[in-house]
């Protein structure tokens, strides 16, 4: 099958212009052709019919001894004068009589085309004719508009209908040529990047289409790279979760041996802290593994949570962490309910994650503020430190997995999981995470907000 030839947009519009002009010409020519056909078939009289009739009868009237009213055809207007040029009889209207008299005085008057002066042997007359098309049948003249008026109406209808039809046809053709562009943009919009674009017949449209195809290919390559990067990150995180279990098992086993030995009470206390920390790390790894294998969606199991018990556990574990840098924890609770509904494991993990970040970026012997309050069916955890605070880029990206922020501020060789888990937990509890900087401490401020039911 042959390839259709492209045309330029200029030629496309030129064809439309030629079509419109042709329709306009036909709109004028066709009615006149119809009048000519009707005239040849004696249905209508031509415009000069009465002029020819007046000139035809002129020689006959000039030979008559006396010109009388009965000698003049009924369709012609007349004035009959006596030999002294006085009006004997007429069927002129009063305002037309003066025009006829002026015609006698000045043969070059502009109305010469409408009057014929006839000099008889003993008297004279003036015949008046009209240049207009009329029906041969007087009955048709009485029933219908004059052929001339019908002609003008027909021309107007032809002009309007031809223009409207031409515009409709042109718009349909233009829309047909735009379909490949519209389909291409639609496919790109729904991220279907494996499609074959149909070609248009207009050169400029195909040039735009080629640009869109290039953009599609670039977008396809970009998304492919992004998907590959996400796959690598997921694989790295899975490997990290697996690899970390080995040293944790060693630490946990030796800590259990330490607790079982007859060591000092203080050593046992530290051993309990270590064991609790290892258990929490294992729990955290389990959470991350579940998130990875379930498309980054957590398996939330909402139950009734005793807020006081949860807060005591958070404070206890936070103090054991903070004591290594002599950091103080100042807590303030306001309008706290006794119970809420949610997944206690994930809420605890999210709060501890934020407190751990506050610990990392707080100066030694600094203070971290934990404000918890309840309003409008939402429970708020507001955590503020005295560190350097967030940069704008941190606020924008901190909840993304693997984001590590400014390396100059990072105190730990961590894997950049950051506030990703915190953000996911908040969303699963119909809440959100709000990041900012405190005006009082100039440090980072994180608000963890969750629905209470």
Per-residue pLDDT tens digits for 407-442: 434 444 333 455 777 888 899 899 999 998 998 989
Q: Please, are residues 188 and 220 in contact by the beta-carbon 8 Å criterion?
A: no
Confidence of residue 352 (pLDDT cuts 50, 70, 90): confident
CA atoms within 13 A of residue 150's CA, in its CB half-sphere: 17
Please compute the mean of the pLDDT values over residues 198-226 and round it to a whole number. Answer: 85
Number of C-beta neighbours around residue 277 at 10 A: 17
Q: Decide: helix, strand or coil at residue 39.
A: helix
Q: Decide: helix, strand or coil at residue 336.
A: coil
CA 254 to chain centre: 65
Contacts 24+ apart (CB under 8 A), 134-140: 134/44, 134/45, 134/49, 135/43, 135/44, 135/45, 136/42, 136/43, 136/44, 136/45
Residue 246: its pLDDT value, please? 53
Q: Please, are residues 384 and 368 in contact by the beta-carbon 8 Å criterion?
A: yes
CA distance 149 to 154: 8
Confidence of residue 215 (pLDDT cuts 50, 70, 90): confident
Q: Please, are residues 429 and 298 in contact by the beta-carbon 8 Å criterion?
A: no
Q: Please report the beta strands in 328-400, taking only residues with DSSP state E, as ranges in sequence order.
A: 328-334, 339-342, 367-375, 378-384
For the ranges 28-32, 56-60, 240-244, 356-360, the maximum mean pLDDT occurs at: 56-60
Residue 306: its pLDDT value, please? 93
Residue 385: its pLDDT value, please? 93
Of 384, 382, 297, 389, which is closest to residue 346 (Cα–Cα)?
Answer: 297
Tell me whether residue 401 is exposed, middle or buried, using C-beta atoms within 10 angstroms of its C-beta: 0 to 12, 13 to 18, 19 or more. buried
The tokens for 124 are 């004279």
CA distance 101 to 87: 10
CA distance 10 to 15: 9
Residue 286: its pLDDT value, please? 67
CA distance 87 to 142: 31
CA atoms within 13 A of residue 147's CA, in its CB half-sphere: 23
DSSP state of 430: T
CA distance 48 to 266: 132
CA distance 431 to 351: 14
The tokens for 132 are 């207009």
CA distance 404 to 420: 11
Least confident of 221-235, 374-388, 405-419: 405-419
Span 115-153, pLDDT tens digits: 888 888 889 998 988 777 777 777 777 787 877 788 888
Q: Please, are residues 101 and 93 in contact by the beta-carbon 8 Å criterion?
A: no
Count of residues for the chain? 453
Element spanning 329, H or E = strand 328-334
Helical pair 344-361 and 265-293, crossing angle rounded to 10 deg: 110
CA distance 279 to 47: 112
CA distance 243 to 245: 5
CA distance 326 to 331: 16
Of 282, 261, 285, which is closest to residue 271 (Cα–Cα)?
Answer: 261
Q: What phi and psi values does residue 39 have, to the nearest 5 degrees? A: -65, -40
Angstrom distances, CA of residue 234 to CA of 228, 231, 285, 290: 10, 5, 13, 12
CA distance 403 to 409: 13
The tokens for 382 are 């507001």
Confidence of residue 108 (pLDDT cuts 50, 70, 90): very low
Higher-confidence residue of 75 and 84: namely: 84
For the ranges 230-234, 416-420, 445-449, the maximum mean pLDDT occurs at: 445-449
Element spanning 441, H or E = none
Do the bridges between strand 367-375 and strand 328-334 make them parallel or antiparallel, or are there none, so unpaired? parallel
């Amino acid at each position: 099958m042959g390839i259709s030839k492209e045309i330029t947009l200029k030629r496309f519009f030129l064809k439309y212009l030629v079509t419109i002009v042709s329709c306009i010409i036909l709109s004028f020519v066709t009615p006149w052709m119809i009048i000519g056909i009707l005239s040849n078939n004696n249905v209508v009289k031509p415009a000069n019919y009465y002029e020819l009739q007046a000139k035809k009868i002129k020689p006959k009237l000039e030979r008559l001894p006396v010109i009388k009213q009965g000698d003049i055809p009924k369709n012609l207007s007349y004035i009959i004068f006596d030999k002294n040029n006085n009006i004997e009889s007429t069927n002129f209207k009063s305002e037309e009589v003066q025009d006829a008299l002026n015609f006698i005085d000045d043969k070059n008057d502009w109305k010469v085309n409408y009057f014929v002066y006839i000099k008889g042997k003993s008297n004279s007359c003036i015949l008046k004719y009209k240049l207009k098309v009329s029906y041969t049948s007087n009955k048709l003249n009485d029933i219908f508009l004059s052929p001339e008026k019908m002609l003008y109406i027909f021309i107007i209808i032809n002009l309007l209908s031809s223009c409207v039809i031409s515009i409709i046809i042109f718009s349909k053709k233009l829309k047909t040529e735009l379909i490949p562009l519209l389909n291409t943009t639609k496919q790109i919009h729904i991220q279907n990047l494996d499609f074959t674009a149909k070609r248009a017949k207009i050169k400029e449209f195909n040039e735009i289409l080629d640009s869109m195809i290039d953009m599609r290919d670039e977008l396809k390559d970009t998304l492919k790279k992004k998907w590959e990067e996400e796959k690598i990150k997921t694989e790295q995180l899975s490997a990290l979760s697996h690899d970390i279990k080995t040293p944790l098992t060693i630490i946990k086993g030796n800590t259990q041996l330490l607790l079982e030995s007859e060591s000092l009470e203080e050593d046992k206390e530290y051993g309990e802290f270590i064991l609790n920390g290892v258990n929490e790390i294992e729990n955290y790894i389990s959470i991350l593994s579940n998130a990875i294998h379930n498309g980054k969606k957590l398996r939330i199991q909402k139950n009734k949570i005793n807020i006081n018990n949860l807060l005591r556990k958070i404070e206890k574990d936070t103090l054991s962490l903070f004591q290594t840098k002599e950091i103080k924890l100042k807590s303030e609770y306001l309008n706290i309910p006794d119970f809420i509904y949610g997944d206690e494991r994930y809420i605890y993990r999210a709060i501890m994650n934020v407190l751990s970040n506050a610990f990392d970026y707080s100066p030694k012997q600094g203070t971290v503020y934990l404000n918890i309050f309840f309003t409008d069916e939402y429970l708020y955890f507001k955590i503020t430190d005295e560190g350097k605070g967030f940069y704008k880029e941190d606020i924008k990206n901190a909840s993304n997995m693997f984001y590590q922020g400014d390396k100059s501020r990072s105190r730990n060789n961590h894997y950049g999981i950051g506030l990703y888990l915190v953000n996911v937990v908040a969303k699963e509890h119909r809440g959100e995470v709000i990041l900012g900087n405190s005006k009082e401490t100039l440090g980072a401020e994180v608000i963890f907000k969750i629905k209470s039911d």
